[in-house]
Copies of this chain bind each other. A is one copy, B any other.
């Protein structure tokens, strides 16, 4: 190892919102430690922002509105991007890497949308592209997937990766409120944005799922490959039904390797949707704005990573960890391991992905109804795991949990049930995960 040198490594910071400000604060507060850990001091060369007058805390001589010029400056040798969104972030990162500058990004949308092009640019230029902060904030997750588990075979990665929806679902479980009421409360409390679409409709979680699946299975997965359902259709009835079968409701990002049948190769299924999970599952206890990711690997078995998924400090911690890594690599004169896409596993359509359903029905309480209902499941090739029938007057409630079947067969069964004369109403349909 070479000893510390006094020549500072110069970093350009693109964006200075909540995360960017926290990055600047940590760089200044921990300057001595970072120098010791890297072997050279780190210095901020410039901060690109849209409105310099809005950043009175940043020394004026560092501020610029010309991000492209900042990235091209010859004295800048690392770029940290916390702008978010696709453009101009994409062009800026590509320009930085083409100029031989390693980049650290917190931009999940960009990585999920254009990860392959960015990784190719990094490999071509022999530079680092790190983005730990893009998924699950401060939780060290991407580095463990890329490195710690590089000698193992992953089976599944299941995560609660969106704090807003987890906050809303946690409060529905606690208070029995419906989705609308819980969303209003979350907005009031500052946990949901004025336009909550990206969170509640699952777009944010789907971007993170694409990134996780790409790293976990060494295959390029694009955000548009991810099946996505949000939580706006989750009802107080769904939550109550979940409790009755010992479950709770979570929005899950699920990435799994599906073994091929009859000699076909394996594929990967990547999906985001609300699901019932047993309260005994480690993910069930992850409440409020916390994130957690559960990993199952061939040799390692079950692992879980838990922590704060958002916020300035936690996200900045992940950015700084990456910055130390790329700076150490710079001092050593190398690039770290790039993400690999060698396995190139195809993604499996949701219709063919094996899932399990919970279905609650209101039916007429007369002999033969259960048999008729069961016949509809059998007709679609769906096997039933458990049924509970509760009579009340001339009506009864049927609560059915299926075994695994292709998602399309389950969805088709539910459609058929809705049309049956004996079925007065389908009161709750949710997928079930984590039952043994």
- Our pick among B302, B324, B337 for the contact of A328 (Cβ within 8 Å) is B337
A13 to chain B, nearest CB (A): 14
**CB pairs A–B below 8 angstroms (18 shown):** A1-B126, A26-B299, A33-B153, A36-B218, A138-B300, A139-B303, A140-B149, A147-B325, A148-B318, A148-B321, A149-B321, A299-B314, A301-B308, A302-B307, A303-B308, A304-B304, A305-B306, A325-B337
* A interface majority secondary structure: mixed
Contact B320 A151 (CB under 8 A): yes
Copies of this chain, whole number:
2
Q: Within the assembled complex, what's the spacing in Å between the Cα atoms of A132 and B132?
A: 20
Chain B residues positioned under 8 Å from A311 (CB to CB): 301
Bin chain A's interface residue count. 35 or more
A310 to chain B, nearest CB (A): 11
A338 contacts chain B at the CB level, 8 A cutoff: yes
A47 contacts chain B at the CB level, 8 A cutoff: no
Contact A303 B126 (CB under 8 A): no
A31 to chain B, nearest CB (A): 11
Contact A1 B123 (CB under 8 A): yes
Q: Which positions 40-63 of chain A face chain B at CB distance < 8 Å?
A: none
Chain B residues positioned under 8 Å from A398 (CB to CB): none
A141 to chain B, nearest CB (A): 9
Contact B332 A313 (CB under 8 A): no
Of chain B, the residue at the smallest CB distance from A308 is B301
A374-385 toward B: CB 8 Å interface, digit per residue (1/0)? 000000000000
- Our pick among B123, B152, B321 for the contact of A147 (Cβ within 8 Å) is B321
Of chain B, the residue at the smallest CB distance from A292 is B304
Contact A342 B26 (CB under 8 A): no
